[in-house]
Amino acid sequence: MQLSASLARDGLRRLGRAVVDGVLPPRCLACGDIVGEPHALCGRCWAAMTFFAPPWCVLCGLPFPHPVADDAVCGACAIARPHWDRARAVLRYDKHSRRLVLSLKHGDQTHLAHAFGRWMRRAGHEVLDSADLLVPVPLHWTRLFSRRFNQAALLAQAIHAAGGPPVAADWLVRRRKTPSQGHLGPLARQRNVAAAFAVRPGRELRGRRVVLVDDVMTTGATAAECARVLRRAGAGFVGVLTLARALRTGAQ
Ligand SMILES: [Zn+2]
Ligand SMILES: [Zn+2]
């Protein structure tokens, strides 16, 4: 009797899953093609993305084309040491990963953030493992109002859900609205973000190990300015973790 009841339950569960799968088959995060499991890329999109992997610059994670010592530093970091201690990203920012970044802003955010959070947790283990807090790059409140959510905060929550440190959601604030940076060069971006960020009064950062989280790092001006502010407030370590990162050289 009990056995047949449990068989019936199993049957119902299978049927339930088939119905759910039938209604909502899992789709590729980038192109929307049907895939075998949820929160995944199809084979074609997976092959098109450039996932960063060692050997890389110990500071900024820039991949090297050949094997190097574990503590090797790239030319850019050797010339001008960044304000942050270590930066890591999951994907190269190019025309393929741009689709993922844009769909996080406009698509099914919860579904995407879940997948990206797991990727970022894995790719960022060197900066996350000893971190106390995740600090998302803030939006100005007027932009937050029009967009309704901050994608950096969403990613930080997803990294935490994947086993990362807790999120200090409002510790860093954007004091003034900065014009969109899309069309600006590196120097203009630096000027654009100067004095744009501050640590919220009363938040104690002294000696804390924090990881700044954002969706994309392009010139690094925003991350550099946020890191400077966090460090001035006493942070003992500032890491940077982004979903995608643009490389200065090479075709996209
Ligand atoms: Zn695809
Ligand atoms: Zn570097």
Q: Which ligand is nearest to the CA of 28?
A: 1
Q: For residue 115, give the nearest of 136, 135, 107 by alpha carbon.
A: 107
Q: How far is the CA of 60 from the centre of ligand 2 (A)?
A: 4
For the entire predicted model, the pTM comes to: 0.84
Q: Which ligand is nearest to the CA of 44?
A: 1
Q: How far is the CA of 136 from the centre of ligand 2 (A)?
A: 22
What is the residue-level pLDDT of the chain in tens, covering all 252 positions?
455 555 556 555 555 554 555 567 889 999 989 999 888 999 999 999 999 999 999 999 999 989 888 899 999 999 999 999 999 999 999 999 999 998 888 766 777 999 999 999 999 999 999 999 999 999 866 666 666 778 999 999 999 999 999 999 989 998 866 666 666 677 776 667 777 899 999 999 999 999 999 999 998 899 999 999 999 999 999 999 999 999 875 433
227 and 212 in contact (C-beta within 8 Å)?
Answer: yes
Phi-psi region of 216 (alpha: psi -120 to 50; beta: other; left: phi over 0): beta
Q: How far is the CA of 87 from the centre of ligand 1 (A)?
A: 27
Distance CA 29, CA 108 (A): 10
